[in-house]
């Protein structure tokens, strides 16, 4: 019988191009997506898919074309949404990632001070002490799920600090984040847009209480207080407040979480790279950039063509959905040599697409890198030997590229 990976490679190369739909979530879940993207990069880098469960869309799969789209917000607008899923009008929530200038800049600048260099310097010792407590408390010799005990816990603690959110309720943030990024599907826990809306209304209600406390208090450096006291955000309608909350919660949560998990998996898959890192801990920040490239925690961002235009020789029409597959561009051989391999000291290691480009380039990227740097510093300092002892379970999503579980064991 043919090996599963060989069958997948056959399918990726034999399916007619016109039928190739890289948006199918199951291919991300079973990690079989790579051959499909490799083929699109080679044969049809700007590819039209006429028929998908998200309607027709263009796939942009090569590095330079992705940068061209991402840096041209006038031609490729985010105002109709940033995911391949079209959110029904009645469930649409505005947020600054779905805005253009000047409103986008005003709102982005409102929240930016929390991740400014001087504030990150203040966070450093707090993050380090939390990482130490978590690592010290992990089971020795017994298998456990790294996603739950480390990745979710660390990122959720950080989010609680950013919002100054009641610490004991912090797992609500994880819950809302997961609900927000999962499009409703029949047979799943969230099976309708209405159910999603009801849960997220609970999020809005909780945060409205915090807003009301903070608007009547002196301004402070947390995300709610920053928004409550800024002329760019203080008059937001409830839907816009919810939209920005979701943006900040998802931004700070899923992405860093999945990089924390991916790093452990990759170091197990490439033991030579882990040895390199152990021999030279000064490579931590380079290794973290490589983890973020190799994981690509946000697989795509979507734009909508604002006018007819040509991209990669293809005629795009006004209103077309254009999907930038960062996950593919990050392995584009023309720009990233040997991109399918994990190499912690590669040349130009920061030259990846995972944080996007242009006016929406990730506002939290330095915080994400700081958290990951500290995690790896501390794993090395404690001499932890984290072995993956089972298959990772991946999320069925073409947007958040990540894991629901990674079984590991730490040798005593
Ligand atoms: C935007 C990825 C961590 C908050 C983005 C974008 C990507 C991204 C791809 C969109 C870029 C574009 O459209 O050009 C990541 C990755 C992270 C990470 C891979 C971790 C490894 C964070 C953290 C925060 C955050 C920790 C919050 C504290 C945001 C926000 C935006 C954004 C608010 C919207 C920016 C705008 O529209 O101007 N991120 N992110 N992200 N991210 Fe991140």
Per-residue pLDDT tens digits for 123-177: 999 999 999 999 999 999 999 999 999 999 999 999 999 999 999 999 999 999 9
Please give the pLDDT value at position 182: 82
Q: What is the mean pLDDT of the chain?
A: 95
Provide the β-strand partners of residue 403.
394
Contact 75, 358 (CB under 8 A): no
pLDDT tens across 328-341, in order? 999 999 999 999 99
Provide the β-strand partners of residue 402.
none
Is the pLDDT at 2 greater than 60? The verdict is no
**Whole-angstrom Cα distance, residue 88 to residue 318?**
20
Is the pLDDT at 121 greater than 60? The verdict is yes
Residue extents of the structural domains in the chain: 56-410
Contact 227, 236 (CB under 8 A): yes
Task: Please state the rounded mean pLDDT for residues 30-47.
Answer: 97
Contact 380, 264 (CB under 8 A): no
**Whole-angstrom Cα distance, residue 8 to residue 6?**
5
Q: How confident is the model at residue 288 (pLDDT cuts 50, 70, 90)?
A: very high
Test site for ligand 1: of 112, 362, 365, 369, most ligand atoms within 8 A of the Cβ: 362
| 266 Cβ closer than 6 Å to some ligand 1 atom | no
Torsion of CA 35, 36, 41, 46, to 10 degrees: -170
ipTM over 0.85: yes
Q: Considering only CA atoms, which residue is closest to atom 14 of ligand 1?
A: 356
| 260 Cβ closer than 6 Å to some ligand 1 atom | no
Test site for ligand 1: of 82, 251, 325, 373, most ligand atoms within 8 A of the Cβ: 251
Neighbours of 275 (CB within 10 A): 11
**What predicted TM-score, i.e. pTM, was given to this entire model?**
0.96
| 361 Cβ closer than 6 Å to some ligand 1 atom | yes
Test site for ligand 1: of 255, 260, 290, 324, most ligand atoms within 8 A of the Cβ: 255
| 362 Cβ closer than 6 Å to some ligand 1 atom | yes
Contact 341, 347 (CB under 8 A): no
DSSP letter at 168?
G
Please give the pLDDT value at position 93: 94
Is the pLDDT at 6 greater than 80? The verdict is no
Q: Which atom of ligand 1 is nearest to the CA of 70?
A: 14
Task: Please state the rounded mean pLDDT for residues 67-87.
Answer: 96
| 107 Cβ closer than 6 Å to some ligand 1 atom | no
Task: Please state the rounded mean pLDDT for residues 19-41.
Answer: 96
Please give the pLDDT value at position 1: 38
Is the pLDDT at 293 greater than 60? The verdict is yes
Of 4-13, 200-209, 224-233, the poorest mean pLDDT is in 4-13
| 249 Cβ closer than 6 Å to some ligand 1 atom | no
More confident: 303 or 6: 303
Q: Considering only CA atoms, which residue is closest to atom 33 of ligand 1?
A: 248
Please give the pLDDT value at position 301: 98
| 357 Cβ closer than 6 Å to some ligand 1 atom | yes
Q: How far is CA 374 from the centre of its chain?
A: 19
More confident: 356 or 7: 356
The class level of CATH for 56-410 reads mainly alpha
Ligand 1 centre and the CA of 374: distance in Å? 19
Ligand 1 centre and the CA of 298: distance in Å? 9
Please give the pLDDT value at position 7: 60
Of 181-185, 193-197, 225-229, the poorest mean pLDDT is in 181-185
Nearest Cα neighbor of 320 from 27, 47, 40 is 47
Is the pLDDT at 4 greater than 80? The verdict is no
Q: How far is CA 158 from the centre of its chain?
A: 16
Is the pLDDT at 291 greater than 80? The verdict is yes
Please give the pLDDT value at position 190: 87
Is the pLDDT at 367 greater than 60? The verdict is yes
């Amino acid at each position: 019988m043919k090996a599963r990976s060989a069958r997948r490679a056959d399918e990726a190369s034999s399916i007619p191009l016109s039928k190739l739909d890289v948006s199918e979530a199951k291919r991300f879940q079973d990690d079989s997506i790579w051959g499909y993207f490799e083929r699109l990069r080679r044969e049809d880098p700007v590819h039209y898919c006429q028929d998908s469960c998200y309607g027709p869309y263009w796939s942009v799969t090569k590095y330079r074309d992705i940068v061209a789209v991402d840096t041209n917000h006038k031609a490729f607008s985010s105002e109709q949404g940033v995911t391949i899923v079209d959110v029904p009008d009645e469930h649409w929530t505005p947020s600054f990632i779905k805005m253009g200038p000047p409103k986008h800049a005003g709102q982005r600048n409102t929240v930016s001070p929390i991740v400014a260099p001087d504030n990150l310097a203040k966070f450093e010792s707090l993050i380090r002490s939390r990482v130490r407590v978590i690592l010290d408390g992990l089971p020795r010799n017994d298998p456990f799920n790294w996603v739950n005990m480390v990745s979710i816990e660390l990122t959720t603690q950080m989010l609680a600090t950013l919002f100054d959110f009641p610490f004991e309720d912090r797992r609500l943030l994880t819950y809302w984040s997961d609900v927000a990024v999962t499009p409703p599907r029949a047979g799943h826990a969230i099976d309708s847009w209405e159910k999603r809306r009801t849960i997220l209304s609970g999020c809005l209600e909780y945060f409205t209480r915090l807003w009301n406390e903070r608007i009547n208090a002196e301004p402070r450096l947390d995300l709610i207080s920053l928004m409550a006291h800024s002329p760019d955000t203080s008059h937001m309608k409830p839907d816009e407040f919810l939209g920005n909350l979701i943006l900040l919660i998802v931004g700070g949560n899923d992405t860093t979480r999945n990089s924390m998990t991916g790093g452990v998996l990759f170091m197990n898959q490439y033991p030579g790279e882990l040895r390199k890192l152990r021999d030279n801990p000064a490579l931590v920040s380079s290794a973290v950039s490589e983890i973020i490239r190799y994981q690509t925690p946000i697989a795509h961002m979507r734009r909508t063509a604002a006018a007819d235009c040509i991209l990669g020789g293809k005629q795009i029409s006004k209103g077309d959905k254009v999907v930038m597959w960062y996950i593919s561009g990050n392995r584009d051989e023309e720009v990233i040599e040997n991109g399918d391999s994990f190499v912690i000291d590669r040349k130009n290691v920061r030259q990846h697409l995972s944080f996007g480009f242009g006016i929406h380039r990730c506002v939290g990227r330095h915080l994400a890198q700081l958290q990951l740097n500290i995690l790896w510093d501390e794993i090395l300092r404690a001499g932890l030997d984290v072995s993956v002892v089972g298959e990772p379970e991946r999320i069925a999503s073409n947007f958040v590229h990540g894991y629901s579980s990674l079984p590991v064991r730490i040798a005593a």
